[in-house]
């Protein structure tokens, strides 16, 4: 996965006008470590962020929004609130998936990020080019700020865990239809996702993904629910990170909630499948529990279907598998 053409071009134009990101290897390393640890976004080197951090964030958010479109194909949002927008990463990802979008709002407590979001958006489609930029925090959303789709990407990470649920409540109140939360795929990131899930399910929110059910989360102990997306590294990205491998794997945790409909059902694949000659094993989150499901090669059509699935995919209910075999 890589940045969209227009977004990549807008970033390249900005970097060229502001001296690029050369010589920022140390700043890039510190930035990545800060974000994984849940640090704040104040006083950061914007060029280093665009080169070293934004590609991974964009890849994770894009993957999550693609899952939303897949699970709710009839959802065509007209408005988007990008809460904790940074440079508008989630807005660019959403604009590429839903042509229906006509109104976008960037919300951030960083003046430099809001200015950057506005400048990058000039090179984007109309909903981005005319986006409103609002100063505010996800803990105290300005009155009247609401949208069909609300996305908060890597925003709860900047809050203490004890305040994550309250922030999620405010974001949910601002969502007319769907709320999307994306966090680092770490135990701390998942803890915030879980706190938001517990609070909002109690208020009637319907899980769309990754949870296939609305029961209690079965992930316990030192385990945590997270997924991974692979992104190609640009030459500047390789230089900034001092990397030799031409790709990066971004681990993320997420939650998609809707105001209407039913839980998706089926089973979410929680880890890379284990394939062997006789068959494949899958670690799954099912109806309020986790399980290891083995699908033998001799199962025929069911095995062929399962063999195409990977970490993070949704496996159809067993009844459907049997009907298709």
pLDDT tens-digit series, residues 157-185? 999 999 999 999 999 999 999 999 999 99
Nearest residue to 243 (alpha-carbon basis) of 3, 58, 55, 116: 55
Assess contact for 157 and 167: CB atoms under 8 A.
no
State yes or no: pLDDT of 20 exceeds 70: no
State yes or no: pLDDT of 31 exceeds 60: no
pLDDT above 90 coverage of the chain, percent: 76
CATH architecture of the domain with residue range 5-258: 3-Layer(aba) Sandwich (3.40)
In terms of pLDDT, which residue wins out, 177 or 231? Answer: 177
Domain with CATH 3.40.50.150 in the chain: 5-258
pTM of this prediction? 0.90
For residue 234, the model assigns a pLDDT of 64
What region does 266 belong to: left with phi over 0, alpha with psi -120 to 50, or beta?
A: left
Q: What is the pLDDT of residues 275-305, one digit of tens each?
A: 999 999 999 999 999 999 999 999 999 999 9
pLDDT, average across residues 213-238: 86
């Amino acid at each position: 996965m890589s940045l969209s053409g227009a977004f990549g071009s807008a970033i390249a134009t900005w970097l060229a006008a502001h001296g690029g990101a050369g010589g920022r290897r140390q700043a890039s390393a510190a930035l990545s470590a800060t974000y994984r640890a849940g640090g704040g976004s104040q006083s950061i080197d914007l060029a280093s962020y665009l080169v070293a951090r934004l590609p991974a964030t964009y890849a994770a958010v894009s993957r999550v929004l693609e899952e939303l479109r897949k699970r709710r194909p009839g959802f065509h949002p007209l408005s988007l609130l990008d809460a904790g927008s940074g440079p508008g990463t989630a807005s660019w990802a959403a604009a590429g998936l839903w042509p229906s979008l006509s109104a976008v709002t960037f919300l951030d407590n960083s003046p430099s990020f809001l200015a950057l979001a506005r400048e990058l958006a000039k090179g984007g489609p109309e909903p981005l080019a005319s986006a409103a930029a609002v100063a505010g925090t996800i803990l105290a959303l300005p009155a009247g700020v609401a949208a069909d789709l609300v996305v908060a990407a890597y925003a709860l990470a900047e809050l203490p865990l004890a305040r994550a649920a309250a922030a999620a409540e405010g974001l949910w109140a601002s969502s007319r239809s769907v709320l999307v939360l994306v966090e680092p795929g770490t135990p701390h990131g998942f803890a915030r996702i879980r706190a938001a899930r517990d609070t909002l399910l109690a208020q009637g929110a319907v899980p769309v993904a990754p949870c296939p059910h609305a029961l209690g989360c079965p992930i316990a102990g030192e385990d945590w629910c997270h997924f991974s997306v692979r992104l190609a590294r640009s030459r500047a990205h390789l230089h900034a990170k001092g990397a030799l491998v031409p790709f990066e794997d971004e681990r993320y945790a997420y939650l998609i909630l809707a105001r209407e409909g039913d839980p998706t059902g089926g089973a979410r694949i929680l880890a890379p499948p284990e394939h062997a000659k006789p068959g494949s094993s899958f670690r799954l989150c099912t109806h309020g529990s986790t399980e290891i499901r083995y699908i033998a090669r001799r199962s025929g059509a069911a095995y062929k279907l399962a063999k195409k699935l990977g970490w993070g995919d949704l496996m159809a209910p067993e009844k459907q598998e049997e009907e298709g075999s």
